[in-house]
Chain A
Amino acid sequence: MSVGEKEVYTQVEKIEADPKNPQKCTFTYEKVRWDFYQLGTFYVMPKHLEEPVFKKYGAQKEGYEKNSLYVKDPTNPGLYNGPYLVSDIQLGDHVTFVPNPKFNGEAPKIKKIIVKLIPNTGTLEANLRSGTIDLISTLGLALDQALAFDKKIQSEGLPYTVLYQPSAVYEHIDLNLENPILKDIRVRKALVTSVNREDLIKALFEGKQTAAIHSITPKDPWFTDDPNKIVLYKYSKRDAEKLLDEAGWKMGADGYRYKDGKKLSFTIMTTAGNKTRELVQVYLQNQWKQVGIEVIAKNEPARVFFGETTKKRQFDAMAMFAWVSSPENNPKSTFHSRNIASPKNGYSGQNYMGWSNKEVDAALDKLDLELKHEGRVSLIHEVLKAYTDEVPVIPLYYRSDVAVVPKKLKNYRLTGHQFPETNQVEYWTIEQ
């Protein structure tokens, strides 16, 4: 089967439905797991419709995927058990939803919802203002576009509201720990200390995003900002300069630092064409220049950056990108030394920093087996302590989701986690 995370499916040994109570079914796992409720993309399917397809095509290579009714007959009402049914679908253009009369919950109020794909975000605002669309979902505007539109709403009195919601996206810079200069922890600490993240957020995002302190986002139950549990870095140019001096990097006449005749210089890479990241890059270059570090931007198309550079750890020093996580997610694929991307594992690991810490590896392995919430929190805080102390990554900010909705639309809520705002679509109402 062409599913990504096979483990999600194979971990479940059997599922038993109770014929007396259609709202109850029992999952039996092959191993005892605390994260049994994190089924991700595991959705209930209509047996009476999909089982015959699976029996007929399941043995063929990609047979089921190509012949499922979700592909062949996507408007079949029996395929859906949510508040809405798909009534029309035009690939790459739109999907139309109508209320599901058999939905086992509160009846949806809006009679028709059309989800339209507009590929150019620059024309989204024009589409909204011309009445072609009624709202812009979280997938639409970038934060800078939303901020600009928010100002127009205020100045022109437009009937829209811009919603901002901190999300589960962590923007950061992976440091290549094989870089001889970055092997020195004092240089890494100087890098993080010399970045004024609070000011960055204010200057570029008008305070609508949150400065990051580590990889776990504030809404996650595992989050901590307790200085007794993790190392917090307050912006201090003086401390950064002190650390660099201790590491032997002395300020030269040209405003940059040198050691044994070598300039303190790095390259920072990110996805080309991403305006927000390019702005952040310029901001960071300026901050680091103030403490005598030269940082040169070298950007690549997303496909090259993710397909080759980060995957094979070919970035010289810094790679700026984001991870999207669900709450209470074991970060072993990005932190465990087993997952350092290398030819051995077919470059499939996502520990692009090359970070290796035996205590962290042990804590991450234990985390999967720890059944008590407090125990898991304690283990993850151990990991975060090492993560913030050793600085394999420079945390930047937690991204916010943005959406533009008409003022008359009520009960539209951004979730702030991996599920979209349509999670509770049945409650949306239009006030006349």
Chain B
Amino acid sequence: MTIMMAYFMHYLKSNKNLYAVLIIFILTGNLNAFEGEKNIEIKNFNFEKNENSYSIGFVQKIKLTNTIKSAINKGIPFDFKIVCKVFIKNNFWFDKKIQQVELFYRIKYKALKQVFEVHDIYGKKKEFNSLDEAIKSLNIVKDWDLNFKNKYNTYKYYVVLKIKLDKKKLPKPLQVNFFDKSWNIESRKYEYLLELVT
């Protein structure tokens, strides 16, 4: 790594044009610096083989910021997305992605009913009198079918899990908010190795 860095710096010094590339990198890269804290935690990951496929399950702990809690209470819907990617590990090249599945759930306060409406990952609509109850109802994800078969018997697989606020469903100004970190709610990337039994 150090050698690579040194080589890169040497190349950077020798080629002034790369400063422009570096500026672009910093500019685009810095936008990611506005990412929020990792306030969704994944625990108790489990992996099972089904009849034709494989499924996973885990427990997620969502810690909402006060801003988001307040926004939910004011009736702004919040959609979350769980992204699961299955990769094959490669030693000498980039890892190969063989599957990507996504799940969505939503929390919304219905002011007239004065309940918190949850559309869970199974598409079911539930109502709760408090936000904590609503969030708690979302904690357990189980039997999530990854919908892939082990075609590559000899390879080691791993899954990457990430849960994040689906910003595309937020109002547009909040989607492009560059500076307010409180709207960035997501988990870090969790990686779990899968050793498949053929």
A, B in one complex: no
